[in-house]
Chain A
């Protein structure tokens, strides 16, 4: 039975919360989607695209022949964690289990029929989560208040498979992430979204079903005022508060300039090429734990949820929103420019760039965006919102001799991590942004698969891409100091890494690995200060890791028929004493204490 696994897999929804500065706090550094796990046949093919083995010999040559950069950080998902509680849905039993990470007590609550997609709901006092019941086509809001759990039901759509929740926790939108739909008919638009007001006050709006654009891939909020649905039709604007109920008020096209012809040397963009920036700054469904996001280039007020690939095969631009929701920046593959869309009126400003951008990243502060021009080993820093009025006001910084295809801006916005996943380059460049940018190149001793900076911007966890595993080594990750000029520590793994989570303080990180062939399962608890890592062997394949900040514990959700999760003491040393596994959520929740008999 894969039900628990499935629920965990999709529990975090379709987008990764990347807003390190988000007031709600992000839960997850992300988790490898099972796409990366051998034998885990989920959607997408990021790993295959990103391996880049065919280009290993071109690391020192021209980058023009390189494939598109891969952005797999979004595939790193975790179960939903709120406060001290981890939520896991069981579609088979119709129940949702919530596990107290401090007491390890498991309880279950009856949801609808087929609870599958979970998302955490920010709340200052309570543990709240909302789950999509795919069979009964409704949603259940779960709220634990002072130990008592209550539920509320809401309508949903027939095809919804993702959540987007506003930072305040008031709004939740159930929508269909078409990138999670492996084979959609051309006539299937998946345009229905349901906007739910989770508040209980007198001014609470009724649940509202709206038709957004064709095949949504991303949903973002601007505070509690507006929501944006990114689709092939553009950006649909939902006014949440002005009317008696939410209403779709506008739809802005994503680009004014027609897309230029594709470069002959470039292969067609892969479906997994979607920009990680699109996830930046959003409250990912299921991403409201206490963990932190790997990248942080979204503003404080705008959160978006998206996925990184389109299973339907449609090319959807990489959209990033400014934190205040005034602008959206759009990058399209093969287009040597950035479109800046004013969300107030839909006007588009085209920012021509000297080369094709391979990545676009919004700073978490919202002050600028970074576009990476791999062909020239240059980054362009676009001031926001100034770039909208002065399209040429961006500045460029060239990193000579380095192939850089992607950029991730740290949470403080003062550094950018530059690297490439398209070539077997074993280096990463840290650029200190400012009036006089400087950079430092860090040798990593292995190509890069994904990069996860810590929230404190002191370190980063880098997953290495091993093209030719040997000697029992199937993968590796590196603990990379960003602020200090000390060597990175590469740790070889007996199984490919499958998930990463970073603690809110940035001092600990969890890296899960999984090899179903050799039945090698485990999770490394990395200390970013000492750059050491301790191995916890897991009893079953991990499918996600996460951090429960309230409990100072990490957890590794595993693929097990009865449901299994292992909690790891973040201060532990890898010994058994600092790990506690909970298996059989249904059974654990069924423990009943009788009544006293005087």
Chain B
């Protein structure tokens, strides 16, 4: 070996000694999100640019662990309404400084067939620029069809960005680049009159034109107006233009800000497509009806706007079916009333309430009712003695729609959670140390007390509710059948719980109690029988401490 070779060898050794390991190891796996799916738990590890999918066996084991690569710099992650699709929106390496830098992307992970032998499927859609927010189609059957990325109110890190730009993904089609004949996703810039998209709402199929099939629309709320976008024609070579509906009259001095959208989705009958909008600072409720297109209109419909003053700022609203037909029910807490609006004529009927309820939800399907009218559950009032009330939207003698039954709940209710496949509701009090199980059929309200502020998680199968205190090591399973709390303990503080089905085809379910410590751990319980001796709890540790990919 010559002297020079020796020298080179020594230099190589020194270089090897000085080389550092991949950055993956140096970063804590703290910037992660944990999401529960129907049949799996997903840990989003932005450090390792992957999603760790875990499915479980009935023996409280990890049946399958799958790593799914996602884009760099995750900005948003969400689970579809059906619980089988995970969406991860990434900024990529932005701004790109080299050709190796990753573009922004959306990764969709489909866990529909996720079993120990069948991996979850993922699809990645590349975008030309990063977006901060993602709206996912809530359609459950056959699954989400669309997703839309938008900037929203988030300040972009991009030097120049277009906040009115939307990226629309057709989730039923694979990725196709901009140069493709039918690109997917497509980019749309909605017309702006000063507002930028803040909230996006997907409609169910609406029969906006009796002559054509029902259509899916995207309702885009900006700070000052609402825009309708035909999703079914968004991928046409020449897509249908959007329609913008202003909410502030030209003669008004104060602009109104849209707060929420309600959609009449009861049927797809002709002339039954309606959308309603309420604002955060106006007393008007806006209803949008649809008619056939006028000459020169590119869309398949022509929207017409109506507004109705309900006397106060409505806090919540919904389309309801009454004895007299479809109505828009708006709660006006400041007036301690609800107002029913006939959407075609703007006729209003005020219904005095017993309390200034500010929230409502329809519970018609869960309530045994002798009429075809809807039943709405009212809550979030100011009077603790009238926590919730059932409002039957049928006429009673002498008092139209004044069939209100206040349920004996000793506290004012903050939230009402649905129990799937059940006539039950879980009501959580404002104080947080008590919750109630409301049986809409029996009209019973069963209180359950907690020693501290409890976080509730209702099992997707509708059989039980899990209560735990975030940061503490106690939780309890309350079987809806018996309302018997089953106390459980973990060795580490609990940060979240997910009730997921087992992947081995059994009817068993597993409770995944997350411990956001270290590299993330969890305690697994038999969800159906948490006290079972046959399946004692099991621990999972270091779920993100794995070999670098």
Contacts and interface: CB of A to CB of B under 8 A. Distances in A.
A596 interface: yes
B241 A597 contact: yes
Contact of A103 (B237, B271, B292, B325): B292
A135 to B, nearest CB: 15
B245 A105 contact: no
A586 B238 CA distance: 30
A577 B306 contact: no
Contacts of A583: 305-308, 346
Contacts of A242: none
Contact of A104 (B240, B242, B304, B346): B304
Contacts of B244: 591-594
Contacts of B250: 93, 95, 586, 590
Interface in B298-328: 298-299, 302-309, 324-325
A106 interface: yes
Given A103-B292, A539-B308, A586-B249, A592 B191 contact: yes
Given A592-B243, A593-B242, A576 B307 contact: no
Contacts of B251: 1, 3, 90, 92-93, 586
A577 B298 contact: no
B307 A587 contact: yes
B249 A584 contact: yes
Contacts of B307: 562, 583-584, 587
The B interface, classified by DSSP as helix, strand, loop or mixed, is loop
Contacts of B191: 592, 594-595
B302 A105 contact: yes
Interface in B167-200: 188-191, 193
Interface string A562-598: 1010100000000011011111101110111111111
Interface in A435-481: none
Interface string B330-347: 000000000000101111
A596 B238 CA distance: 6
Interface in A352-409: none
Contacts of B305: 583-584, 587-588, 591
Interface residues of B, number: 48
Contacts of B117: none
Contacts of A95: 250
B297 interface: yes
A593 B241 contact: yes
Given A592-B243, A594-B243, A596-B239, A579 B344 contact: yes
A537 interface: yes
Contacts of A1: 251
A147 interface: yes
Nearest to B191: A594
Contacts of A588: 304-306
B82 to A, nearest CB: 31
B304 A576 contact: no
Interface string B225-240: 0000000000001111
Most chain A CB within 10 A, of B189, B296, B309, B324, is at B309
Contacts of A93: 249-251
A538 interface: yes
B22 interface: no
A581 B291 contact: no
B136 interface: no
Interface residues of A, number: 41
Contact of B345 (A3, A104, A581, A586): A581
A536 interface: yes
Contacts of B304: 104-106, 582, 588, 591
B247 to A, nearest CB: 7
Contacts of A3: 251
Nearest to B288: A591
Contact of B243 (A538, A576, A579, A591): A591
B348 interface: yes
Contacts of B302: 103, 105
A576 B342 CA distance: 8
B245 A579 contact: no
Given A104-B304, A586-B250, A597 B345 contact: no
Contacts of A106: 304
A536 B345 contact: yes
Contacts of A564: 346
Contacts of B342: 539, 576
Contacts of B241: 593-597
A595 B239 CA distance: 9
B490 to A, nearest CB: 53
Given A592-B243, A593-B297, A595-B241, A587 B347 contact: no
Contacts of A539: 308, 342, 345-348
B344 A594 contact: no
B306 to A, nearest CB: 4
A596 B306 contact: no
A262 to B, nearest CB: 50
B347 A538 contact: yes
Contacts of B271: 577
Contacts of A582: 304, 306
Nearest to A521: B347
Contacts of A595: 191, 241
A591 B301 CA distance: 12
Interface in A74-112: 90, 92-93, 95, 100, 103-106
Interface string A222-246: 0000000000000000000000000
A35 B209 CA distance: 43
11 contacts: A105-B302, A539-B345, A539-B348, A540-B346, A562-B249, A562-B284, A577-B344, A584-B305, A591-B246, A591-B303, A597-B188
Interface of B: 188-191, 193, 237-251, 271, 284, 286, 289, 291-292, 294-299, 302-309, 324-325, 342, 344-348
